[in-house]
Amino acid sequence: MDKFAQVDADWTLFLDRDGVINERIFGGYVLAYKDFRFLDGVLENAPSIFSCFCRVIVVTNQQCVAKGLLSKEGLDRLHNEMMLDFQKAGAKIDRVYAALEKKGDPPFMRKPNGRMAEFAQRDFPEIDFSKSIMVGDTDGDLQFGKNLGMKTVLIESAEKTTIVPDLILNRFGDLIDFI
């Protein structure tokens, strides 16, 4: 099996949340951790995948905050619980960056805009986008990665995409076979 990236400890893994880490609620939002469902194999495979990278960063669009459905503090609690579950499984997420505005609203943090990655690079100066992989399930995720010169991985879902990624997988856990 060919490797699409020769990953070493200098590389960074960027992950979308909904549709990659957890079940995406089409037409809705995960508003409480009790409704957060890890996708099959994510927690089990995260330790072996995450250990290949220097950093693991989650970048997620969460307009539910701007819509008043969830507070910023509630979203932070949800992300802290998610990170704790990863930690219990033996995998570490270094940081979660969330775009809170509605689609089209300023300050345009939402993917495919690269602002969340720029903040990650500011916080972790060793991040080199040419040595990064973006894993997502939407065109916005893939364009985000491509705009920054990252390798891109599509996790197939019910979402229809038009952007061609570097790699297409059925599930996150399969990434280990290609790095």
pLDDT at position 112 over 90: yes
Burial environment of residue 124 by CB neighbours within 10 A (0 to 12, 13 to 18, 19 or more) = middle
> Using 50, 70 and 90 to split pLDDT, how confident is the model at 5?
confident
Exactly one of 2, 8, 10, 16 is catalytic; which is it? 16
Mean pLDDT of the chain: 95
Is residue 144 within 8 Å of 111, Cβ to Cβ? yes
| CATH classification code of 12-157+165-178 | 3.40.50.1000
18: annotated active-site residue? yes
HSE-up of residue 88 (Cα within 13 Å, Cβ side): 7
pTM of the model as a whole: 0.96
Residue of 18, 94, 137, 141 with catalytic role: 18
C-alpha 110/C-alpha 159 separation (Å) is 18
DSSP-based helix, strand, coil % in the chain, nearest 5: 30, 20, 50
**Residue indicated by tokens 């939407």:** 138
Sole residue written with tokens 């894993």: 135
34 C-beta neighbours (distance < 10 Å), count: 9
- The average pLDDT across 74-92 equals 98
How do the domains of the chain map onto residue ranges? Answer: 12-157+165-178
Residue 54 carries which side chain, given as an amino acid letter?
A: C
C-alpha distance across the termini of the chain, in Å: 10
8 is catalytic: no
DSSP H or E segment with residue 106: none
Segment 147-164, tens digit of pLDDT: 999 999 999 988 899 999
